[in-house]
Amino acid sequence: MMFRPILLLGVILAAGPTGRVGDFGFRDSQGKEHTVKDWRDRKAAILVFLNPECPVSNGYSPELQRLRRAFPEKTVLVYGVYCDPDLTADQVTKHGKDYGLNFPLLLDPLQKLAAATGARKTPEAVLLSPDGQVRYRGRIDDRYTPDGKRRREAQRRDLEEALNEVLAGKAVTVAETQVFGCPFPPPASAK
């Protein structure tokens, strides 16, 4: 399959999962700063964009817990990312506790991390290499069809399959999938 670049407002965006997360510093809901350096000695990092008001996002909490348990932290780091500029750290912490999210929950009200990875919806997952390259971007699994129909069980666990390929040192077979979920609200204005 050939990807054609798209010209939009003078910026070239290539089709397919492109992007790289450079050295960044984001605070989690507990006030701790996290950077790309946190996962340099890991095999991969997963960013899952979440929103407490998105029922699709909330419905994936058990799957996110399962993934977190399935892959040791010394190998893969998992982060939840909240792009709603109206959410406070306390609200994000409460959401994490209510849904059993036992990984750092990052605040991204300016949506800089979202822009760097190309994420646009919740629950969108981004799999990153140790140097911050986007290796996979898209749905967690195919439980929801692109038009929003919900299957009883997932037939394909896209994020987990991509992660297994990365951990095995292979190229990701399906590097991008369409996400059904809630669009991000407008970002906070930069000050």
Query: What span, in angstroms and rounded, lies between the C-alpha atoms of 128 and 135?
Result: 6
Pairing mode, strands 105-107 and 182-183: unpaired
Q: Check residue 31 and give its pLDDT.
A: 87
Q: Where are the domains of the chain?
A: 16-182
Average pLDDT, the chain: 86
What pLDDT was estimated at residue 19?
Answer: 66
pLDDT at 98: 97
Read off the pLDDT of residues 129-186 as tens digits, 9 standing for 90 and up: 988 889 999 999 999 987 888 999 999 999 999 999 999 999 999 999 999 999 999 9
Confidence bin at 78 (pLDDT 50/70/90):
very high
What is the band of 6 on the pLDDT scale with cuts at 50, 70, 90? Answer: very low
pLDDT band at 190 (very low <50, low <70, confident <90, very high): low
* % of the chain exceeding 90 in pLDDT: 65
> Quick one: 16-182 is in which CATH superfamily?
Glutaredoxin (3.40.30.10)
Phi-psi region of 19 (alpha: psi -120 to 50; beta: other; left: phi over 0): left
Of 75, 63, 68, whose CA–CA distance to 102 is shortest? 68
Q: Which two tokens stand for residue 170?
A: 């292979």
pLDDT in tens, 33-69: 888 888 888 999 999 999 999 999 999 999 999 999 9
- Confidence band for 25, pLDDT divided at 50, 70 and 90: confident
